[in-house]
Structure 1
Amino acid sequence: MTFSIAARCPRTGQVGVALASSSPAVAARCAHVRAGVGAACTQNVTDPRLGPRLLDLIAAGSTARDAVRHTVDTEALVAWRQLTAVGLDGSPAGYSGEHVLGSHARALGADCAAAGNLLRHQGVPLAMVDAFAAQPELPLAQRLLDALTAGLAAGGEAGPVHSAGLLVADAVPWPVVDLRVDWASDDPVARLGGLWRLWEPQQDAYVQRALAPGRAPGYGVPGDRC
């Protein structure tokens, strides 16, 4: 009941996730990013512990493929899970267990991994990968949104979509983009796009407010020496 994409931008070093689901608050459970490490999704009868576990393995030196393989080999209930992972380099990776729900599929790109379960059409993940690759010059968040929109247009999941999320990490320890539509009856993916358009021009200013508040737009103080 979820379709998602985890990705990186080699140009900027950003990593991120975009996803949508018929379940509420999908991004709260399934999306995981870590600056300087990678991005991961854990979905389908979700175990939120698996996202941080994948990122811990990548941070310790594993490739995304090795991190997924190790998790599959050591997690007792992994047959119920669907996983994707992307590091800062190396090949993206994914896994679908034998108990994943309904029509499901995965697709890998040069810098991304997409997956979905209870899909209306098995071509959804591939449509997401193709859309993500289409305009590499765009900000990572926009490319992730384009991929999510393409997945929805390709059929999305079999049921109505009610929640969506967008998560991007950059050079600071916290996500620079963390946007969610936790429950909506009318097109949460479009609503998420509206939130991104609101957030994008303010994104850098909020980082600056944390690192050098006296120099942040609208917060300058005469004689500031930060």
Structure 2
Amino acid sequence: MLRKFLPFLAALLWLASPAAQAQSIYSATDPLAHTFSIVARDPKTGEMAVAVQSHWFSVGTSVSWGEAGVGVVATQSFTNKSFGLRGLALLKSGKTAQQALDELLANDEGRDVRQVAILDNQGRVATHTGKKCVDMAGHQQGNQFSVQANMMLNATVWGAMAKAYEASATLPLAERVLAALDAAQAAGGDIRGRQSAALLVVRGTTTEGPWADRLVDLRVDDADKPLVELRRLLKLHRAYDHMNAGDLAVEKNDMPKAIAEYQAAEKMFPSNLEMKYWHAITLANKQQVPAALALLRPIFQQEPNWRTLTERLPKVGLLTVSPAELKQILALK
């Protein structure tokens, strides 16, 4: 419905202001990401995060931007998506967060309807809430973080976010910024409701490449309760971190640690068959076939395709049991 309304909105704005200005500020192709968000840096680890929720489809594709060793950006309200990549490029060139924000806004005729927050790799923050952002709109900065919101039900939202973030200092950064988003929703949130959310956490310094530098990158594009789903996904992400740590322990032949990591993952999601399956395969490969059989039996009973997959693993070296042991595994009832 809102998409259909955009051309009409653009026409009204064109009548109210010079055509060139209207066309540069308001575009029917740009998202109206009225929303609440947070940018933050963990002073202990150097990790940086940007998290957001909105009553808008796939808000994470518009609002949240980040790069390890550089910083994070939240660009919202009448969103100028170019502020994401351009802001990061300015930070990368040596600009501070405030210098980058000033440069982005200097030539932007739509600055009055923008809301932008930038955090650099030193934890410096810069925030702008345009005077024509839809009420209720505002922001609050703290030690290495900024919270910002527009089109909120009331003016308590961003204060509640800051308070929740500061009160959760013992949590990992991802969980900490989610606490801020939860507080925003509890304080009234977006006046229109809720639809999507996103969470991005990057390293404080670069490593071997971007594929290793995005520590958390999760999106909920459309859901009745996006923050509930985002938190479930983060928990699942943490569970697979345990699985990866278990695999690494196997490579180092540290089976007690491997088993502990696999069990930690399975405890978080006891209905996840894949976690149990690869735990079992690892046991079998380490000559612990009886323990593997105990795990595999209920898996095969619940989903026979795992038995079929097991037949295919020896060919590619992922299952290294003897032919007799393989026959025993496949004969499980």
Q: TM-score range by the shorter chain?
A: 0.7 to 0.9
TM-score (norm 1): 0.87
2:199 is the alignment partner of 1:166: yes
Structure 1 residue 46, shift from structure 2 partner: 1.2
Residue matched to 2:165: 132
Go from structure 1 to structure 2 and tell me whether the alpha carbon gap of 1:110 and 1:35 turns closer, same or farther (over 3 Å shift): same
Go from structure 1 to structure 2 and tell me whether the alpha carbon gap of 1:76 and 1:110 turns closer, same or farther (over 3 Å shift): same
Aligned residue for 1:138, secondary structure, equals coil
Count how many residue pairs are aligned between Structure 1 and Structure 2: 218
User: Which gives a bigger RCO, structure 1 or 2 (Cα 8 Å, sep 6+)?
Assistant: 1
1:124-181 deviations in Å (ceiling 9; x for gaps): 1121122112132321100011111011111111111111111111244242211111
Residue matched to 2:155: 122
1:177-218 deviations in Å (ceiling 9; x for gaps): 111111112x11111111111111324766999xx9x94976
Which structure 2 segments of 5+ residues have no match? 1-33, 253-257, 259-277, 287-333
Query: Hey, which of these two has a bigger chunk of helix by percent?
Result: 2
Q: Which amino acid aligns with 2:236?
A: L
TM-score (norm 2): 0.60
Aligned match of 1:71 in 104, 124, 136? 104
Residue matched to 2:228: 190
Query: Hey, which of these two has a bigger chunk of strand by percent?
Result: 1
Aligned match of 2:238 in 186, 193, 200? 200
Structure 1 residue 16, shift from structure 2 partner: 0.8
1:100-137 deviations in Å (ceiling 9; x for gaps): 12310111011111111100111211211221121323
Go from structure 1 to structure 2 and tell me whether the alpha carbon gap of 1:69 and 1:55 turns closer, same or farther (over 3 Å shift): same
Q: Which amino acid aligns with 1:104?
A: A
Q: Among the aligned pairs, what percent are the same residue?
A: 33
**C-alpha separation in 2, matches of 1:16 and 1:60:** 20
Go from structure 1 to structure 2 and tell me whether the alpha carbon gap of 1:193 and 1:73 turns closer, same or farther (over 3 Å shift): same
Aligned residue for 1:20, secondary structure, equals strand
Aligned residue for 1:120, secondary structure, equals coil
**C-alpha separation in 1, matches of 2:123 and 2:237:** 30
Q: Which amino acid aligns with 1:84?
A: A
Aligned match of 1:26 in 56, 59, 82? 59
2:213 is the alignment partner of 1:180: no
Residue matched to 2:175: 142
Residue matched to 1:42: 75
**C-alpha separation in 1, matches of 2:79 and 2:244:** 32
Contact 1:4 1:114 in 2 (8 A): yes
